[in-house]
Chain A
Amino acid sequence: METILQISNLTKKYGNLTAVKNLSFTIKKGNVYGILGPNGSGKSTTLGITLNVVNKTSGDFKWFDGTISTHEALKKVGAIIERPNFYPYMSAYKNLQLVCKIKGIDYSKIDEKLEVVGLTERKHSKFSTYSLGMKQRLAIASALLNDPEILILDEPTNGLDPQGIHQIRAIIQQIASQGTTILLASHLLDEVEKVCTHVVVLRKGEKLYSGRVDEMISSEGFFELKCEDEARLLQFLEQHPAIEKTIEKDGLITAFLNAPLSASEFNKQLVESGIYISHLVMRKESLEEQFLQLTDNN
């Protein structure tokens, strides 16, 4: 698969503070990547470095196998970082014209992309009159202008109201479904879980995990159980070969699996042992639980 961006041993220091520590990962074409991390974990700094606005301290990054200079590469990239930055005194249309000039493309795409983000009717209004949600949508339109090889989004739903968040997510999902490579930095886990295929987890500038989302949620899951005769159930669970451990809390027994076992098969085994339960739910750990485990344990 074609490599779009390769980051190797990247480090950024602000005085004594190390914002990014020896970070390496690779972005391949066609995947949707999420960079996860709490606030201040170095997500924006990493993106800033690859986007030519923050200077690296050491390490290296290469766009498109290093065949072209960074600013030429950026013409094939669409990126929005934190807040949408446009000229407040110019209309949406004029602002996009300027982006076209910088990227060296003609104006024909402007109307099409404004349509995608639903700003056609307001395209001649000044940017300063836009709501935050509209500004963010305009930023996405601007990032899409050149039909980019990769779309980089840094906290795209930050500060938006629920409708705004929903609109932006719908747009991102739509773009992802068309096969565009996306790199999405966020601290909102459900956001990443919903759209991303791959994930890089950062904490204090260090990489904790990088790989497929479904591999990160690798455990076999767990059962939540309730039973009148708790003692017998617990005894059964203890002897069961597929159960790793059990936790009892507020009358709810959680049994963690270490081997695949379906809920119906498990229920059958219980009945055969003469145990009748009143509550059985099989769940997998969410990305959020995995993420919290990863970031807390270190």
Chain B
Amino acid sequence: MFRLLNIELIKLLNNRASVILIIVYFALLSLISLIAVINFNIGPIDFHLAEQGIFNFPYIWHFNTFVAGLLKFFLLIVIVSMVANEYSNKTIKQNLIDGLSKKEWILSKVYTVLVFALISTLFVFIISLVLGLVFSSYTEPNIIFSDLEYLIAFFVKLFGFFCLGLFSGMLIKRSAFALGAVLVYFFFEIISYGILMAYYKGDDIIDRVYQFLPFKSLWNLIDEPFSRLGAAKAFASQVGEDLSYDYAVHWYEIAIVLGWSAIFIYFSYKLLLKRDL
């Protein structure tokens, strides 16, 4: 395993474009902490976002993993190009000739993706911990370390998403087209979902079907956290709306995404087995 990771790291870390994108990604992740300094000061209203409770434990786990999850597209570029470039440089052929098996080749990519997801999760964990310790109103250990399932969901979300990128790169073999395909599919899923939701108003059949599709299943892992904010709740109760909503991370949501990951990895491998290079 470490041999395969090592091979992949030599390829990645010598590629300037990849390194820059990775750095930008982690820089953006750290920028989450900058939300803390958002401070509106309009006449009598003094609005300091950090004091609205977004950095309170355990809510911070939910909020930060959600926001960090939006940044995953940066790493998608790295992952798609690390697969597709092997085709355009024909280095995949050379790797196999040099004695890497097809299985090892796919595994080296999967391990890399796993490490990306793991490091991102660890990074978000540390940033959230620091932010929370600075701004949270509650700092008792049992509160700090509650709701950590959001981090697991975050890890699974990234892994599933990167596996999708991996498969797309394998299938299409050209970075730009592979990225485009992911985006086109992304919009297709969102728009069709929006249209169908409007059509079947009041029926949850669409949700029940769409929870099995790649992007919706990724989205479902971490529900949007904003309506959970104290301010939003207060506002909702004033206008008489009930915002009680299920924010929890469910095992079946994780299972669906892991299922997709397995499918993506398996078919990437099958593609490689079947193709003449």
Contact = CB atoms under 8 A, between A and B. Distances in A.
A48 B276 contact: yes
A87 B89 contact: yes
Contacts of B104: 71
A92 to B, nearest CB: 12
A85 B94 contact: yes
Nearest to B100: A102
Interface residues of B, number: 27
17 contacts: A54-B276, A55-B273, A69-B101, A81-B93, A81-B97, A86-B91, A87-B89, A88-B89, A90-B15, A94-B14, A98-B7, A99-B98, A101-B3, A101-B7, A102-B7, A102-B98, A142-B98
Contacts of B137: none
Contacts of A98: 7, 10-11
B7 to A, nearest CB: 5
Nearest to A128: B89
A85 B91 contact: yes
B15 A89 contact: yes
Contacts of A142: 98
Interface in B1-39: 3, 6-7, 10-11, 14-16
A142 B96 CA distance: 14
Interface in B86-133: 89-91, 93-102, 104
A267 interface: no
Interface string A55-75: 100000000000001111111
Nearest to B6: A101
Contacts of B16: 89
B274 interface: yes
Interface of B: 3, 6-7, 10-11, 14-16, 89-91, 93-102, 104, 273-277
Contacts of B94: 85-86
A131 interface: no
Contacts of A196: none
A182 to B, nearest CB: 16
Nearest to A98: B10
Interface of A: 14, 48, 51-55, 69-75, 77, 79, 81, 83, 85-90, 94, 97-99, 101-104, 142
A87 B277 contact: no
A255 to B, nearest CB: 50
Given A14-B276, A101-B10, 7 more contacts: A52-B96, A71-B99, A75-B98, A75-B99, A90-B11, A98-B7, A102-B7
B150 to A, nearest CB: 37
B98 A55 contact: no
Contacts of B99: 71-75, 77, 102-104
Given A71-B104, A94-B14, A97-B10, A53 B89 contact: no
B140 to A, nearest CB: 48
B14 A90 contact: yes
B216 to A, nearest CB: 36
